[in-house]
Amino acid sequence: MNREERFVKQITPKSEDFSKWYVEIIRKAELADYAPIKGMMVIRPYGYAIWENIQHLLDKRIKETGHSNAYFPLFIPESLLEKETEHLEGFAPEVAWVTQGGKEKLEERLAVRPTSEAIIGNMYAKWIKSWRDLPVLINQWANIVRWEKVTRPFLRTTEFLWQEGHTAHETLEEAEKETLLILSLYKEFVETELAIPVVSGSKTEKERFAGASETYAIEALMSDGKALQMGTSHNLGQQFSKVFNIRFEDRSQNLQYVWQTSWGVSTRLVGALIMSHGDDSGLQLPPRVAPVQIVIVPISIGNWKENVLPQAREIEAQLKREGLRVKMDDREEFTPGWKFSEWEMRGVPLRIEIGPRDIKENQAVAVRRDTREKESIGLEALAQRVPEILKNIQTSMLEAGLKFQLENTHEVTSYENFKSILKSERGFIKAYWCGNQSCEEKIKEETMATVRVVPLEQDKQKTREKCVCCGKDSEVRVYFARAY
C-alpha cells in the first residue's frame, strides 16, 4: 500500500459507520478539534474559513433586506431571563450561570446567553417610543452557550456561533411578513451557496421555539437519511413585548405593544455541508463557500522546478486575477498522488495538474472533485474556462442533492408502511396528519420520527385524506423524519 492510499483508508467508509465517518472527516480535513472542556470544540482555520464565507454571503443578504448589525452583552441577568416564563422554562435546563465575579459572589446570577430575546427586549423597551421608530431591524453575529448533554462537533456543541435577527414592527401582518421573508431568504441562501436543497414550512406547536407564536424552519435531508434543521424564523407575536413592556404610540396616538420576530442560523451549517456532500474520500465543498476553490499541483518529475513550476505560478497568478481562491501546492516532501488525496479530503472543488508533458502541449488538466471528470484545457483558455467549471460544479452539486431528496422522500398512507420505511431506508416521509399532538407523540415514541415541517403550500386535494396514525380526516400533509 502506498502512502496516499493509506491517507484515504484511515477514514471509516460512510456506509459502514456514518457518525464515525463524520468525526473522522472533521479531524482529517482539520475543520475542528475537541477542546479540553467537555462538549466544546475548537474551530480550526480551515473550518473557520468556511464559516467566514457563510457569514459573508449571508450577511450581504441580511443587509440587502434592510437589516443592520449590532452587538448585545453576553450575560443576561436572571431577573430578565425569568420574565418570560415559557421562554425560561424552554431554556432553563441548558443555561450556564455566572455566580461570581473575581472574588465577589454576585447578588444576582447572570446567564450566559442561550439566545438574546430577553436582553434585546429590555433595550428595545428603551429605544422604541413611537411608530416612527419602527420597524427595528437588527441582526447580531455572536456566540451562544447551551449546556448540552450529548454533543457532536458543529451539530450540537455547548458553545456555538450564529447570527440572530431581532425585529420589532407596528402590526402582526408586518411581523409575519418579516418572518416569512427571512424563511425564504434562508432557503435561497442555503440552496444557492451551500448547494443543499431544503424543505420549508411551519413547526408544530410541540416543536415550536419557547415563547414564539409561530416557528418556521428549513430542513434538509443528510446523506444518512436523517433530517437536519438548518435555520429557524420565529414570529414572536406580542409575547415578549408585553413582558418587556416594549410599547409605542401608534398613528392614532394610542399606546400599543410591538410585534416581534427572531431568526437564526448557526455553525451547524458547516456540519450540514459535511453530511450532505462528503464521501468516502472526504469532504466535498461547493465552490461558493470553499476556502480553496482550486488547488494547483505541479507534477514533480525531473527538473520540474525549472520546467513546470514557473508555468504553474503563472496559472496561479492568472486565476487569482479572476478573483478566485487558489492554492499552489509546491511542497517537495509529498508525491503528487499524496497531494491529490489530501486535497480531495479537504473537499477542494477543482484540481489543476500540470506536468512536463502538459507544458509541451501548452495545456493543463483540470479534475473535478464531485464527478472526478478530467478536462485538458489550453493555457490561454484557463482563465475563462475555470470559472465556468466552478459554476457547473456548484449547479451539479445542488442537482445531485435534489435528486437524493426526491429519491428519499416517500409518500405514505399506511402506518405499517411508515414504520417499515423508517426501519429500512429513512428519508422524508410525506404523510397526512390530523393535527393532534397525541398522534404526533405516538409516532415519535414508536418510530423516533417527528414532524419536521408543515409545508405552507398544501396541495389542495379534492378527496378526503386520513391521518397516517389514527385514520381521522386530515387536510394537512407534513414532512416526517428522524432528525439530528
Toward Zn ion, which CB reaches closer, 35 or 476?
476
Single-letter amino acid code for the residue at 315:
I
Distance (Å, whole) CA 121 – CA 214:
18
For residue 226, the minimal CB distance to Zn ion (Å) is 24
Closest approach, Cβ 476 to Zn ion, in A, equals 10
Within the chain, how many helices (H) and strands (E) appear? Answer: 16, 25
Instruction: Please give the Cα distance from 351 to 373 (Å, whole number).
Output: 11
Residues 450 to 479 in contact with Zn ion, rule: CB under 5 A: 467, 469-470
Half-sphere CA count of 402, side-chain side, radius 13 A = 10
Residue among 66 and 471 whose Cβ is closer to Zn ion? 471
Beta bridge partners of 164: 140, 264
* CB of 206 vs Zn ion, minimal distance in Å: 13
CB of 401: closest distance to Zn ion in angstroms?
Answer: 32
Contact call for residues 206 and 436 (beta carbons, < 8 A): no
Nearer to Zn ion, 387 or 435 (CB): 435
Nearest CB to Zn ion, comparing residues 312 and 449: 449
CB of 469 to Zn ion, least distance (A): 4
Nearest-angstrom CA–CA distance, 12 and 79: 49
Listed in sequence order, the residues at least 6 apart from 64 whose beta carbon sits closer than 8 Å to its beta carbon are: none
Q: For residue 390, what is its C-alpha cell?
A: 466552478
Minimal distance in Å, beta carbon 450 to Zn ion?
14
Q: Is 395 or 437 the residue whose CB approaches Zn ion more closely? A: 437
CB of 227 to Zn ion, least distance (A): 21
Let me know: does 451 contact 204? Beta carbons within 8 Å: yes
CA separation for the pair 271, 154 (Å, rounded):
5
Q: How many chain residues bind Zn ion (CB under 5 A)?
A: 5
Q: How far is the CB of 230 from Zn ion (least distance, A)?
A: 27
236 or 467, CB closer to Zn ion?
A: 467
- Parallel, antiparallel, or unpaired: how do β-strands 363-368 and 350-354 relate? antiparallel
Q: How far is the CB of 104 from Zn ion (least distance, A)?
A: 56
Say which residues have a Cβ less than 8 Å from residue 417's Cβ, sequence separation at least 6.
Answer: none
CA angle 242, 243, 244 (to 5 degrees): 95
Which residues make beta-bridge pairs with 142?
162
Instruction: Pick out residues in 388-447 that bind Zn ion (CB under 5 A).
Output: 434, 439
* Nearer to Zn ion (CB atom), residue 233 or residue 474: 474
Rounded CA separation 88/69 (Å): 26
CB of 433 to Zn ion, least distance (A): 6
Tell me which residues in 320-359 interact with Zn ion (CB under 5 A).
none
Residue nearer to Zn ion on the CB measure, 168 or 467: 467
Instruction: Tell me the sheet residues that pair with 130.
Output: 249
Q: Nearest distance from residue 473's CB to Zn ion, in Å? A: 9
Residue 40 or 470: the one with the smaller Cβ distance to Zn ion is 470
Rounded alpha-carbon distances, angstroms, from residue 374 to 79, 211, 348, 350 = 62, 53, 15, 10
Q: 17-46: which residues touch Zn ion (CB under 5 A)?
A: none
Provide DSSP, 101-152.
ETTEEEEEEEEEPSSSHHHHHHHHHHH--BGGG--EEEEEEEEEE---SS-B
Asked if 227 contacts 482 with a C-beta cutoff of 8 angstroms, the reply is yes
Q: Which is nearer to Zn ion, 72 or 415 (CB)?
A: 415
Residue 455, all three cell numbers = 409545508
d(CA 443, CA 134): 43
Q: Which residues on neighbouring strands pair with residue 152, listed in sequence order?
A: 156
Answer whether 430's CB lies under 8 Å from 412's CB: yes
Q: From the CB of 440, what's the least distance to Zn ion, in Å?
A: 8
The smaller minimum CB distance to Zn ion, of residues 79 and 414, is found at 414
In the complex, minimum distance from the CB of residue 372 to Zn ion, in angstroms, rounded to a whole number = 47
Q: Of 111 and 431, which CB lies nearer to Zn ion in the complex structure? A: 431
Residues 90/206, Cβ–Cβ less than 8 Å: no
Q: Which is nearer to Zn ion, 314 or 475 (CB)?
A: 475
Q: Please, how many CA atoms are within 13 Å of residue 235, restricted to the half-sphere of its CB?
A: 21
Residues lying near Zn ion in the complex (CB under 5 A): 434, 439, 467, 469-470
